[in-house]
Amino acid sequence: MSKQRVYLKGNEALAYGALEAGLNAYFAYPITPSSEIPETLAKEFGSKKYPEYKFFLQAASELEAINMVLGAAAGGVRAMTATSSPGFSLKQEGLSYAACMELPFLIADICRAGPGLGNLGPEQSDYFQATKGGGHGDYRLFVLAPASVQEMALFPRIGFDLAFKYRNPVLILGDAFTGQLKEDVEFPEFTPPKYDVSSWATTGAKGRAPHILNSLELDYQKHYKHVGKIFEKYKQAEASEVRFEEYLTEDAEKVIVAFGIVARIAKGVVNKLRAKGVKVGLFRPMTLWPFPKVPLRKLASQGTQFLDVELNTGQMYQDVKLAVGDGVTVDFLGKWGGVVPTEAEIESKLRRLEMVVA
Protein backbone atom coordinates (compact mmCIF):
# COMPACT_ATOMS: atom_id res chain seq x y z
CA MET A 1 0.00 0.00 0.00
CA SER A 2 1.28 3.45 -0.89
CA LYS A 3 1.27 6.65 1.08
CA GLN A 4 -2.12 7.67 -0.28
CA ARG A 5 -5.04 8.13 2.05
CA VAL A 6 -7.58 5.35 2.23
CA TYR A 7 -10.96 5.31 3.89
CA LEU A 8 -11.10 2.24 6.16
CA LYS A 9 -12.84 0.76 9.15
CA GLY A 10 -10.61 0.37 12.19
CA ASN A 11 -10.63 -3.40 11.88
CA GLU A 12 -9.72 -3.24 8.19
CA ALA A 13 -6.94 -0.78 8.98
CA LEU A 14 -5.57 -3.18 11.61
CA ALA A 15 -5.58 -6.02 9.07
CA TYR A 16 -3.77 -3.94 6.43
CA GLY A 17 -1.48 -2.60 9.12
CA ALA A 18 -0.47 -6.15 10.00
CA LEU A 19 0.18 -6.94 6.33
CA GLU A 20 2.28 -3.80 5.97
CA ALA A 21 4.17 -4.88 9.08
CA GLY A 22 5.16 -8.13 7.37
CA LEU A 23 2.49 -10.56 8.56
CA ASN A 24 3.28 -14.16 7.51
CA ALA A 25 0.38 -16.18 8.90
CA TYR A 26 -3.06 -15.44 10.31
CA PHE A 27 -5.27 -17.86 12.24
CA ALA A 28 -8.89 -16.80 12.48
CA TYR A 29 -12.01 -17.33 14.49
CA PRO A 30 -14.98 -15.06 13.82
CA ILE A 31 -16.49 -12.96 16.59
CA THR A 32 -18.31 -9.63 16.45
CA PRO A 33 -17.12 -6.84 16.48
CA SER A 34 -13.70 -8.07 15.29
CA SER A 35 -14.62 -10.14 12.23
CA GLU A 36 -13.58 -7.58 9.60
CA ILE A 37 -9.99 -8.38 10.59
CA PRO A 38 -10.09 -12.04 9.41
CA GLU A 39 -12.42 -11.12 6.55
CA THR A 40 -9.95 -8.55 5.22
CA LEU A 41 -7.05 -10.96 5.66
CA ALA A 42 -8.96 -13.77 3.92
CA LYS A 43 -9.61 -11.44 0.99
CA GLU A 44 -5.96 -10.40 0.73
CA PHE A 45 -4.59 -13.94 1.03
CA GLY A 46 -2.70 -14.80 -2.14
CA SER A 47 -2.48 -11.14 -3.19
CA LYS A 48 0.77 -10.26 -4.98
CA LYS A 49 0.99 -7.09 -2.93
CA TYR A 50 1.97 -9.08 0.14
CA PRO A 51 4.38 -11.82 -0.91
CA GLU A 52 5.39 -12.48 2.72
CA TYR A 53 1.79 -13.29 3.65
CA LYS A 54 1.90 -17.07 3.26
CA PHE A 55 -0.95 -18.56 5.22
CA PHE A 56 -4.52 -17.92 6.33
CA LEU A 57 -6.75 -20.44 8.08
CA GLN A 58 -10.06 -20.23 9.90
CA ALA A 59 -9.78 -22.44 12.98
CA ALA A 60 -12.58 -24.43 14.60
CA SER A 61 -12.37 -22.60 17.92
CA GLU A 62 -10.67 -19.70 19.67
CA LEU A 63 -8.47 -22.22 21.45
CA GLU A 64 -7.44 -23.91 18.26
CA ALA A 65 -6.63 -20.56 16.65
CA ILE A 66 -4.37 -19.33 19.47
CA ASN A 67 -2.55 -22.66 19.62
CA MET A 68 -1.99 -22.54 15.86
CA VAL A 69 -0.54 -19.06 16.30
CA LEU A 70 1.71 -20.49 19.00
CA GLY A 71 2.90 -23.26 16.65
CA ALA A 72 3.55 -20.82 13.82
CA ALA A 73 5.39 -18.43 16.15
CA ALA A 74 7.57 -21.37 17.23
CA GLY A 75 8.65 -21.54 13.59
CA GLY A 76 9.90 -17.95 13.93
CA VAL A 77 7.39 -16.30 11.57
CA ARG A 78 5.15 -13.26 12.13
CA ALA A 79 1.86 -14.80 13.23
CA MET A 80 -1.33 -13.19 14.44
CA THR A 81 -4.91 -13.71 15.55
CA ALA A 82 -7.72 -11.41 16.66
CA THR A 83 -10.80 -11.79 18.76
CA SER A 84 -13.29 -9.96 20.95
CA SER A 85 -13.90 -10.18 24.69
CA PRO A 86 -15.62 -13.60 25.11
CA GLY A 87 -13.00 -15.02 22.75
CA PHE A 88 -10.23 -13.20 24.58
CA SER A 89 -11.09 -15.20 27.71
CA LEU A 90 -10.48 -18.36 25.70
CA LYS A 91 -7.15 -17.06 24.42
CA GLN A 92 -5.70 -16.83 27.92
CA GLU A 93 -4.50 -20.44 27.95
CA GLY A 94 -2.37 -19.96 24.86
CA LEU A 95 -1.09 -16.57 26.03
CA SER A 96 0.12 -17.97 29.35
CA TYR A 97 2.00 -20.80 27.60
CA ALA A 98 3.43 -18.45 24.97
CA ALA A 99 4.69 -15.95 27.56
CA CYS A 100 6.48 -18.75 29.43
CA MET A 101 7.87 -20.20 26.19
CA GLU A 102 8.89 -16.68 25.13
CA LEU A 103 7.07 -16.77 21.81
CA PRO A 104 6.57 -13.58 19.79
CA PHE A 105 3.22 -12.94 18.11
CA LEU A 106 0.46 -10.40 17.80
CA ILE A 107 -3.11 -10.64 19.07
CA ALA A 108 -5.91 -8.09 18.92
CA ASP A 109 -8.89 -7.87 21.25
CA ILE A 110 -11.66 -5.65 19.92
CA CYS A 111 -13.32 -5.27 23.29
CA ARG A 112 -17.10 -5.44 23.56
CA ALA A 113 -19.44 -5.24 26.51
CA GLY A 114 -19.30 -7.98 29.11
CA PRO A 115 -19.35 -9.94 31.33
CA GLY A 116 -20.64 -13.07 29.61
CA LEU A 117 -22.00 -12.48 26.15
CA GLY A 118 -22.68 -8.86 27.09
CA ASN A 119 -23.42 -7.07 23.86
CA LEU A 120 -21.65 -5.75 20.78
CA GLY A 121 -21.14 -2.22 22.06
CA PRO A 122 -17.77 -0.77 23.06
CA GLU A 123 -16.24 -1.38 26.49
CA GLN A 124 -12.76 -1.26 27.97
CA SER A 125 -13.61 -3.89 30.54
CA ASP A 126 -10.90 -6.32 29.41
CA TYR A 127 -8.32 -3.91 30.86
CA PHE A 128 -7.54 -6.11 33.87
CA GLN A 129 -7.35 -9.29 31.79
CA ALA A 130 -5.17 -7.50 29.24
CA THR A 131 -2.71 -5.77 31.54
CA LYS A 132 -2.36 -8.09 34.54
CA GLY A 133 -1.49 -11.28 32.67
CA GLY A 134 -4.97 -12.66 32.15
CA GLY A 135 -4.14 -16.34 32.11
CA HIS A 136 -2.66 -18.44 34.89
CA GLY A 137 0.78 -17.78 36.32
CA ASP A 138 2.92 -14.66 36.41
CA TYR A 139 3.46 -12.91 33.09
CA ARG A 140 2.49 -9.76 31.22
CA LEU A 141 1.46 -8.93 27.69
CA PHE A 142 2.60 -5.75 25.99
CA VAL A 143 -0.66 -3.86 25.52
CA LEU A 144 -1.10 -1.18 22.86
CA ALA A 145 -4.26 0.93 22.94
CA PRO A 146 -5.10 2.64 19.64
CA ALA A 147 -7.40 5.67 19.77
CA SER A 148 -7.98 6.13 16.05
CA VAL A 149 -8.20 4.19 12.81
CA GLN A 150 -4.76 5.61 11.95
CA GLU A 151 -3.30 4.02 15.09
CA MET A 152 -5.09 0.76 14.31
CA ALA A 153 -3.15 0.86 11.03
CA LEU A 154 0.25 1.65 12.53
CA PHE A 155 0.31 -0.22 15.85
CA PRO A 156 0.95 -3.65 14.27
CA ARG A 157 4.39 -2.31 13.28
CA ILE A 158 5.16 -1.45 16.89
CA GLY A 159 3.50 -4.69 18.00
CA PHE A 160 5.62 -7.09 15.94
CA ASP A 161 8.71 -5.11 16.83
CA LEU A 162 8.06 -5.42 20.58
CA ALA A 163 7.08 -9.09 20.19
CA PHE A 164 10.35 -10.07 18.54
CA LYS A 165 12.53 -7.73 20.56
CA TYR A 166 11.25 -9.11 23.87
CA ARG A 167 10.05 -12.54 22.65
CA ASN A 168 6.62 -12.07 24.22
CA PRO A 169 3.04 -11.89 22.91
CA VAL A 170 1.79 -8.36 22.19
CA LEU A 171 -1.86 -7.34 22.46
CA ILE A 172 -3.59 -4.55 20.57
CA LEU A 173 -6.56 -3.65 22.75
CA GLY A 174 -9.20 -1.86 20.72
CA ASP A 175 -12.90 -1.59 21.34
CA ALA A 176 -16.10 -1.90 19.29
CA PHE A 177 -15.77 1.81 18.48
CA THR A 178 -12.19 1.89 17.21
CA GLY A 179 -12.88 -1.37 15.34
CA GLN A 180 -16.02 -0.17 13.58
CA LEU A 181 -15.19 3.52 13.14
CA LYS A 182 -14.38 4.55 9.56
CA GLU A 183 -11.73 7.20 8.92
CA ASP A 184 -9.07 8.22 6.45
CA VAL A 185 -5.73 6.54 7.09
CA GLU A 186 -2.25 6.63 5.64
CA PHE A 187 0.32 3.88 5.50
CA PRO A 188 3.77 5.46 5.37
CA GLU A 189 6.42 3.39 3.56
CA PHE A 190 7.78 0.73 5.84
CA THR A 191 10.24 -2.11 5.47
CA PRO A 192 9.59 -4.71 8.16
CA PRO A 193 12.82 -5.34 10.07
CA LYS A 194 14.37 -8.79 9.95
CA TYR A 195 14.60 -10.63 13.24
CA ASP A 196 17.15 -13.30 14.03
CA VAL A 197 15.23 -16.29 15.33
CA SER A 198 17.98 -18.83 14.69
CA SER A 199 18.83 -19.31 18.38
CA TRP A 200 15.38 -20.55 19.39
CA ALA A 201 12.94 -21.28 16.53
CA THR A 202 11.99 -24.93 16.02
CA THR A 203 13.01 -25.35 12.40
CA GLY A 204 14.76 -28.73 12.62
CA ALA A 205 17.94 -29.54 14.54
CA LYS A 206 20.25 -29.55 11.53
CA GLY A 207 23.88 -29.08 12.57
CA ARG A 208 22.91 -27.80 16.01
CA ALA A 209 21.55 -28.98 19.36
CA PRO A 210 17.76 -29.36 19.51
CA HIS A 211 15.65 -26.29 20.32
CA ILE A 212 13.06 -27.03 22.97
CA LEU A 213 10.22 -24.54 23.41
CA ASN A 214 8.71 -25.49 26.70
CA SER A 215 6.82 -24.04 29.64
CA LEU A 216 7.27 -27.16 31.79
CA GLU A 217 10.12 -27.13 34.31
CA LEU A 218 9.89 -29.65 37.11
CA ASP A 219 13.00 -28.34 38.86
CA TYR A 220 11.62 -25.56 41.12
CA GLN A 221 14.91 -23.64 41.28
CA LYS A 222 15.21 -23.64 37.50
CA HIS A 223 11.61 -22.48 37.08
CA TYR A 224 12.17 -19.78 39.70
CA LYS A 225 15.10 -18.56 37.61
CA HIS A 226 13.20 -18.77 34.32
CA VAL A 227 10.22 -16.69 35.48
CA GLY A 228 12.66 -14.29 37.15
CA LYS A 229 14.46 -13.90 33.83
CA ILE A 230 11.17 -13.08 32.08
CA PHE A 231 10.43 -10.40 34.69
CA GLU A 232 13.90 -8.93 34.15
CA LYS A 233 12.84 -8.42 30.52
CA TYR A 234 9.64 -6.78 31.74
CA LYS A 235 11.60 -4.46 34.00
CA GLN A 236 13.66 -3.39 31.01
CA ALA A 237 10.48 -2.85 28.98
CA GLU A 238 8.95 -0.75 31.76
CA ALA A 239 12.00 1.49 31.56
CA SER A 240 12.09 1.89 27.79
CA GLU A 241 8.84 0.96 26.05
CA VAL A 242 6.29 3.25 27.70
CA ARG A 243 4.24 5.26 25.18
CA PHE A 244 1.74 7.99 25.93
CA GLU A 245 0.32 11.22 24.55
CA GLU A 246 0.11 14.43 26.55
CA TYR A 247 -2.27 17.04 25.20
CA LEU A 248 -2.14 20.55 26.69
CA THR A 249 -1.01 19.23 30.05
CA GLU A 250 1.89 21.63 30.61
CA ASP A 251 -0.08 24.31 32.46
CA ALA A 252 -3.18 22.19 33.13
CA GLU A 253 -4.77 22.28 36.56
CA LYS A 254 -7.06 19.40 35.67
CA VAL A 255 -6.10 16.48 33.48
CA ILE A 256 -8.36 13.80 32.00
CA VAL A 257 -6.75 10.36 31.88
CA ALA A 258 -8.29 8.17 29.19
CA PHE A 259 -7.26 5.66 26.54
CA GLY A 260 -8.71 4.43 23.27
CA ILE A 261 -11.97 5.91 22.02
CA VAL A 262 -12.64 7.69 25.33
CA ALA A 263 -9.51 9.78 24.80
CA ARG A 264 -11.03 11.00 21.52
CA ILE A 265 -14.15 12.21 23.34
CA ALA A 266 -12.03 13.70 26.11
CA LYS A 267 -9.97 15.66 23.60
CA GLY A 268 -13.17 17.36 22.46
CA VAL A 269 -13.89 18.38 26.04
CA VAL A 270 -10.35 19.76 26.47
CA ASN A 271 -10.62 21.82 23.26
CA LYS A 272 -14.00 23.20 24.29
CA LEU A 273 -12.86 24.20 27.78
CA ARG A 274 -9.53 25.60 26.58
CA ALA A 275 -11.50 27.89 24.25
CA LYS A 276 -13.16 29.23 27.39
CA GLY A 277 -9.80 29.68 29.09
CA VAL A 278 -10.08 26.71 31.45
CA LYS A 279 -6.71 25.06 32.03
CA VAL A 280 -7.42 21.41 31.27
CA GLY A 281 -5.43 18.73 29.50
CA LEU A 282 -5.48 15.10 28.44
CA PHE A 283 -3.11 12.30 29.36
CA ARG A 284 -3.52 9.26 27.09
CA PRO A 285 -1.63 6.02 27.78
CA MET A 286 -0.81 4.36 24.44
CA THR A 287 0.81 1.42 26.18
CA LEU A 288 -1.46 0.10 28.93
CA TRP A 289 1.36 -2.26 29.81
CA PRO A 290 3.97 -1.03 30.46
CA PHE A 291 1.82 1.65 32.09
CA PRO A 292 3.14 5.23 31.97
CA LYS A 293 3.55 5.54 35.74
CA VAL A 294 6.48 7.96 35.78
CA PRO A 295 4.99 10.69 33.51
CA LEU A 296 1.71 10.53 35.43
CA ARG A 297 3.53 10.93 38.74
CA LYS A 298 5.41 13.87 37.28
CA LEU A 299 2.13 15.54 36.36
CA ALA A 300 0.76 14.86 39.85
CA SER A 301 3.81 16.49 41.42
CA GLN A 302 2.80 19.72 39.66
CA GLY A 303 -0.39 19.77 41.74
CA THR A 304 -2.61 18.53 38.94
CA GLN A 305 -6.02 17.02 39.66
CA PHE A 306 -7.12 14.03 37.59
CA LEU A 307 -10.32 12.68 36.16
CA ASP A 308 -10.03 9.13 34.90
CA VAL A 309 -12.67 8.22 32.30
CA GLU A 310 -13.17 4.67 31.10
CA LEU A 311 -15.68 2.31 29.49
CA ASN A 312 -15.81 0.11 32.59
CA THR A 313 -16.40 0.42 36.33
CA GLY A 314 -12.87 1.63 37.11
CA GLN A 315 -10.05 -0.64 36.04
CA MET A 316 -7.24 1.61 34.78
CA TYR A 317 -8.32 3.88 37.65
CA GLN A 318 -6.41 1.59 40.02
CA ASP A 319 -3.20 1.99 38.02
CA VAL A 320 -3.66 5.75 37.87
CA LYS A 321 -4.15 5.91 41.67
CA LEU A 322 -1.05 3.79 42.20
CA ALA A 323 0.97 5.93 39.82
CA VAL A 324 0.09 9.32 41.33
CA GLY A 325 0.32 8.16 44.94
CA ASP A 326 -1.54 9.32 48.04
CA GLY A 327 -2.96 12.82 48.48
CA VAL A 328 -3.69 13.42 44.82
CA THR A 329 -7.24 13.94 43.57
CA VAL A 330 -8.30 11.28 41.09
CA ASP A 331 -11.99 11.11 40.33
CA PHE A 332 -13.58 8.54 38.10
CA LEU A 333 -16.26 8.57 35.42
CA GLY A 334 -17.25 5.21 34.02
CA LYS A 335 -19.78 4.02 31.48
CA TRP A 336 -20.36 0.41 30.60
CA GLY A 337 -22.81 -1.91 28.88
CA GLY A 338 -21.98 -0.37 25.50
CA VAL A 339 -22.83 3.14 26.73
CA VAL A 340 -20.32 5.91 25.97
CA PRO A 341 -19.94 9.12 28.01
CA THR A 342 -20.92 12.38 26.35
CA GLU A 343 -18.68 15.45 26.31
CA ALA A 344 -21.20 17.17 28.61
CA GLU A 345 -20.96 14.39 31.18
CA ILE A 346 -17.17 14.54 31.21
CA GLU A 347 -17.22 18.35 31.41
CA SER A 348 -19.64 18.39 34.32
CA LYS A 349 -17.59 15.82 36.24
CA LEU A 350 -14.43 17.81 35.52
CA ARG A 351 -15.98 21.03 36.83
CA ARG A 352 -16.79 19.37 40.15
CA LEU A 353 -13.29 17.94 40.55
CA GLU A 354 -12.21 20.40 43.29
CA MET A 355 -15.01 19.07 45.50
CA VAL A 356 -13.51 15.57 45.43
CA VAL A 357 -11.46 14.66 48.50
CA ALA A 358 -8.02 13.34 47.59
Partner 1 sequence: MSQLALKVKLGKLESLTDNPTHYCAGCEHGTLTRLIASAMDEMGIREKTVMVDSVGCSVLAYNYLNCDHIVAAHGRAPAVATGLKRVKPELTVFTVQGDGDAASIGLLELIYAAKRATPITVFLVNNAIYGMTGGQMAPTTLEGQVTTTTPFGRDAALTGTELDVSKLLAGIDGAAYVKRASLVVQELSSQRGKVYTIKNLLDAKKSVENAFKVQALGGFAFVELLSTCSINWKMPILDAKRFVNDRMMKKYPLGVYRDTFGVEKQ
Among candidate residues 332, 322, 185, 183, the one with its CA nearest the CA of residue 258: 332
Q: Are strands 287-289 and 142-144 parallel, antiparallel or unpaired?
A: antiparallel
Amino acid at 271: N
Query: By C-beta, is 213 or 340 nearer to partner 1?
Result: 213
Beta 254-257 vs 280-285: how paired, if at all? Answer: parallel
From the list 142, 176, 175, the residue with the least C-alpha distance to 158 is 142
- Residues near partner 1, by CB under 8 A: 24-25, 27, 54-55, 57, 59-61, 63-65, 67-75, 77, 79, 93-94, 97, 101, 202-207, 210-216
Q: What is the DSSP letter of 7?
A: E
Q: How far is the CB of 206 from partner 1 (least distance, A)?
A: 4
For residue 340, CA distances in Å to 19, 86, 177, 253, 292 come to 31, 20, 10, 25, 24
- Is the CB of 60 or the CB of 275 nearer to partner 1? 60
Which secondary-structure segment (H or E) carries 74?
Answer: helix 62-74
User: Which of 206/276 has CB closer to partner 1?
Assistant: 206
Q: Give least dist CB 105 to partner 1, A.
A: 10
State which residue, 68 or 309, has the beta carbon closest to partner 1: 68
CB of 45 to partner 1, least distance (A): 12
- Please give the Cα distance from 227 to 235 (Å, whole number): 12
Q: How far is CA 71 from CA 68, 128, 326, in A?
A: 5, 26, 45
Could you tell me the smallest distance in angstroms from the CB atom of residue 69 to partner 1? 6
Q: Please give the Cα distance from 36 to 24 (Å, whole number).
A: 18
Which C-beta is closer to partner 1: that of 72 or that of 311? 72
- Least spacing, CB of residue 70 vs partner 1, in Å: 6
Q: How far is the CB of 141 from partner 1 (least distance, A)?
A: 17
307, 350 Cβ separation under 8 angstroms:
yes
**Considering Cα of 163, then 8, then 29, then 117, what sign does the dihedral take?**
positive
User: Would you say 195 or 283 has its CB closer to partner 1?
Assistant: 195
CB of 153 to partner 1, least distance (A): 24
Decide whether 207 or 303 has the Cβ nearer to partner 1. 207
